[in-house]
Structure 1
Amino acid sequence: MGFPVDLRRCQALGLAGTAFLALGGETAGALPAHDFLAPGSVQAVLGLVGVYFGVVLLIAAWVLLGGVVRGPEPPTPRSLLLVLAVWAAPLLLAPPLFSRDVYSYLAQGAMVDAHIDVYAYGPAQLGGPLADEVAPVWQQTATPYGPVFLVVASVLSALTRGQLPAGLLGMRLIALLGVALMAAALPRLARHSGADPAAALWLGALNPLVLLHLVAGAHNDAIMLGLLGVGLVAARGRWPVLGVVLITLAALVKAPAALGLVAVVALRSRGRGPRAVLRHTVTTTTAAAATTVAATAAAGTGYGWIAALKTPVSPHNWSPTSLLGRVTGAALDQLGSGLAPFALPAWHAAGLLVTAALLLFIWLRLRPGPVYALGLSLAAVAVFGPAVRPWYALWGLFLIAAAAPTGSVRTRVAAASAVLALTVLPSGAPADVEQVILAVSGGVLALVVLWQAHQAARPQSPVRERTA
């Protein structure tokens, strides 16, 4: 007999995981400068071990929950939403984890509030304690985010008056709102696509990547995906124009969501002739353009966000095109070639061409359902773009979860999610050998505890009485 698994046990195990995450993050997270502990200190060591102990517990709870969802009596979407709320609760007041991007968001909001052009200057132009919290690599970098997110960040800055604890809590609440919108949209999109709503919630909302990076990391991808999800729900229903507006607002948070407009046209004209495609294309384009003009005018930040889409990426980014660019550049440099400086831009351009080719193949030749096609398209943008982060995987995963045609697709995506959940340190800093060893130790300790629990739960074989 195997380990006894039910919804309540999965809920308790996942809660233990996020509780350890929150506790470990108090000394090993992306802490403010005045709370920063040296990586070798006892508190930081215990915190790092504790965080990875919690991550592995959370992954285990999620995997076991997947078995319950696929079982003979799967939980209802409502009960899964309760599990999501329970798992997320300990992270609400935890320090930022796995990235320092939330400090950049707060600094950019303060810059807008101070009438500093965020598309021309980096946070260093703001100065002061808030700007000092931004990672050094982004101090001189203009923001790549759209006017809708900057308005949200600016309003939060004004409400919190630059106070860091209140700002961090505010950004996390905004991210939680985005996750709530994602969770609300997933069952509806799944039903429309002929998929299981419970399975969609399990893969797309209870995914460890959502909890680690959208909730604990407070990334603005949560708002982008939330608006995109509810926009698609509206577009396939009775409010197509509202759907276009919401998806355009999502794109004015982060640009990749603009691909959702293609899905709107496909949803509205599916099974109809070329005239319907043309009519819906014109309607969608007009509504999107009007929303863009109105939102940009209301934000008062101008159209600098268009040029900011070319904002440089981290020089140590591990996207396939960046990696190939660095390797090629180093090889050319060793050969004494003057072409070495052009290697990275050339590979980035090649990545854009590959992405464009994949998008054409998906929409014109493969022709899956619109929601699934959008998920595949966003996955291609994330993989072949100039920058890759673990939370970028959620762009495509969110919609693949809602519309994946087979269980094998979900299994592969789930396996990739579990691996990606283990790839970033809680401080958001680059890893060294010592930190990797500590992180692995925390994960192994969690596996030992899980194995011991498994052994303890197994029924004991009855002792046979010896016969004379």
Structure 2
Amino acid sequence: MPPTPGAARLARYAGLAGAVLLAVAGWLGGALPSIPLDVTPADRWRSDTGPLVLGAWLVGTALLVGAWWALLRGAPSTRWAYLTAGLWALPLLVTPPLGSRDVYSYACQGWAYAHGVDPYATGVAEAGCPWVESVASIWRDTPAPYGPFFVLLAALAVTLGGGLVGTVVALRLVSVAGLLLAALCLPGLARAAGVPTHRAAWLVLGCPLVGVHLVAGAHNDAVMLGLLLLGLLVLVRRPGRPKPLLVAGALLGLAVTVKATAVVVLPFAALAAVLGRYTVRALLRDAGWLAGGALGAVAVASLLSGLGLGWIRGLTRSGDSEQWTSPPTAVGFVVDYAGGLVGRDPAAVPVTRAVALLLLAVLVVALWWRAWSQLRGLNDVQQRVARLAAVRPRVTLLGAGLALAATVLLAPVFHPWYATWPLALLAVAATRTTWFVLPCAAAAFLTLPDGANLARFAKAPGALAMTALVVALAVWSLLRLRRARAARHG
């Protein structure tokens, strides 16, 4: 049931008011280069502008989240969703970086590469970046964890921007370009999967995480998502044809060379590449063209950058940050707390993280096999070609979205903007939305405008709460699986 005109109008302008308040918080206390990095929320509250900054931030976030949530079933129209999301983005385009200082890391990594330093071999402090004081202290001595294509984009931003402000503006424009590319792909993907376009566009573009972290925060996740969605759109529209498959593979490969987490989508993209009946031969034939395009893009980006495959080493340092917002890390904290009661040294976090990565691999394989079996089952019952074409995108896109959701949940670290990965795909493929929209709404409250993560200041209670949630979800899943098996055998 579409919202009434009055409700839609109220949501639009409540969200705009929220975006303006966030922009005000950004100018007064956002992630400016001059803002001290190592102060607590209490210190910020006691400053002259502290109450105004925190009040504007919290009220603005609540207004944005509430306005987005009010239209959970979809905006009045797709055009309305685009116009409203664009209206909300305007104040966030002209504010200092919000919710994170990562854009300064991007700038310094681009500066290092532009000045002949390998960003995968050294941290930005050792490289001599003149803007290193703006970078969060934890990332000053770590190599870049991003792929060569994004390093090239960051170096281009440094060259065009000149100083730090110009570079940040250029990086924000790169992020906005990635977001616009994703926005252009949403209606086509949603139509292919049989999902209302107005709902898909609203869930993604109206999400506060997108405005705060991808627009104002200039995170490179927007570039990854733009390439990812465009590659998938080419696949669902032109499966089984060598040239489109090569193009789609190249786009997906470039997404991987921005952030390596995009790799979990590739197995499901291989299913989307198949035209006609799903057989092993057809999968190998069509997925082969796709894989050729993806590998070619990775190879070209690595060779053009002159950095080779050194970027893979940088991936191992992305887990240097330890926060309870990552479920495996939270479980490790709780195990260490329990061990400390009996005198054991803390060493559980690396173990729980390794177990989680193993579980992720198993889950991705299981999700792929489930999608493959569903598509093969359609052949077995001789479904009509038209219906198969309608079902194929929904199955493959949903599988890819679930794989990204599992990646976010089981990764060693979690930051709020990571939730936009599965959001972009689940919004165009899932029939039920609350289960993945609710975590996005909660994640919007995890950061402060200057980039401080509130999880840092609630380590023990946060870890206990997250572990309790993990245990509850595990028990619920086992009970549901048991009931499903009983139903099949009953």
Q: What TM-score do the two structures reach when normalised by structure 2? A: 0.82
- d(CA) in 2 for partners of 1:331, 1:34: 38
Maintained 8 Å contact 2:245/2:289: no
- Matched residue count: 423
The residue that corresponds to 1:138 in the other structure is 139
- d(CA) in 2 for partners of 1:208, 1:433: 21
Question: Alpha-carbon deviation of 1:132?
Answer: 1.2
- Does residue 84 of structure 1 match 2:91? no
The residue that corresponds to 1:204 in the other structure is 204
Cα 1:172–1:328 shift into 2, 3 Å:
same
- d(CA) in 2 for partners of 1:351, 1:51: 34
The residue that corresponds to 2:316 in the other structure is 310
- The one-letter amino acid paired with 2:147 is G
Residue ranges of structure 1 left out of the alignment (5+ in a row):
436-468
Question: Alpha-carbon deviation of 1:264?
Answer: 2.2
- Does residue 421 of structure 1 match 2:428? no
**Residues 376-415 of structure 1: matches in 2 within 5 Å?**
376-404=402-430, 406=431, 409-415=432-438
Cα 1:92–1:263 shift into 2, 3 Å:
same
- d(CA) in 1 for partners of 2:49, 2:212: 21
Describe the superposition over 1:15-55 as per-residue Cα deviations: whole angstroms up to 9, x where unpaired: 11101110111122112126889612121321121111111
Question: Alpha-carbon deviation of 1:151?
Answer: 0.2
Of 237, 248, 262, the residue aligned with 1:243 is 248
- d(CA) in 1 for partners of 2:437, 2:297: 36
Taking only aligned residues, the RMSD between alpha carbons, in angstroms, comes to 2.3
The residue that corresponds to 2:278 in the other structure is 272
Maintained 8 Å contact 1:147/1:295: yes
- Does residue 234 of structure 1 match 2:234? yes
Question: Alpha-carbon deviation of 1:374?
Answer: 0.2
Maintained 8 Å contact 2:74/2:199: no
Identity %: 37
The residue that corresponds to 2:289 in the other structure is 283
- The one-letter amino acid paired with 2:107 is L
Maintained 8 Å contact 2:82/2:202: no
Maintained 8 Å contact 1:93/1:169: no
Maintained 8 Å contact 1:145/1:305: yes
Secondary structure of the equivalent of 1:313?
coil
The residue that corresponds to 1:94 in the other structure is 95
Describe the superposition over 1:388-443 as per-residue Cα deviations: whole angstroms up to 9, x where unpaired: 11111111111000101x2xx212222222111112112212449999xxxxxxxx
The residue that corresponds to 1:347 in the other structure is 352
- d(CA) in 2 for partners of 1:347, 1:35: 34
The residue that corresponds to 1:19 in the other structure is 20
Secondary structure of the equivalent of 2:151?
helix
Maintained 8 Å contact 1:84/1:206: yes
**Residues 2-401 of structure 1: matches in 2 within 5 Å?**
5-33=6-34, 39=44, 40-66=46-72, 69=75, 74-75=76-77, 77-161=78-162, 163-238=163-238, 239-269=244-274, 271-318=277-324, 319-337=326-344, 340-341=346-347, 343-365=348-370, 367=374, 369-401=395-427
The residue that corresponds to 1:459 in the other structure is none
- d(CA) in 1 for partners of 2:150, 2:261: 14
- d(CA) in 2 for partners of 1:395, 1:155: 25
- The one-letter amino acid paired with 2:332 is G
Question: Alpha-carbon deviation of 1:7?
Answer: 3.6
- d(CA) in 2 for partners of 1:34, 1:291: 39
Q: What TM-score do the two structures reach when normalised by structure 1? A: 0.85
- d(CA) in 1 for partners of 2:287, 2:318: 32
Cα 1:392–1:432 shift into 2, 3 Å:
closer
Cα 1:20–1:3 shift into 2, 3 Å:
farther
Maintained 8 Å contact 2:265/2:404: no
Cα 1:59–1:34 shift into 2, 3 Å:
closer
Describe the superposition over 1:170-214 as per-residue Cα deviations: whole angstroms up to 9, x where unpaired: 111111111111111111111111111111011122111111211
- d(CA) in 2 for partners of 1:351, 1:434: 24
Describe the superposition over 1:263-304 as per-residue Cα deviations: whole angstroms up to 9, x where unpaired: 221012264211101112322222222211111111122211
Question: Alpha-carbon deviation of 1:112?
Answer: 0.4
Cα 1:396–1:67 shift into 2, 3 Å:
closer
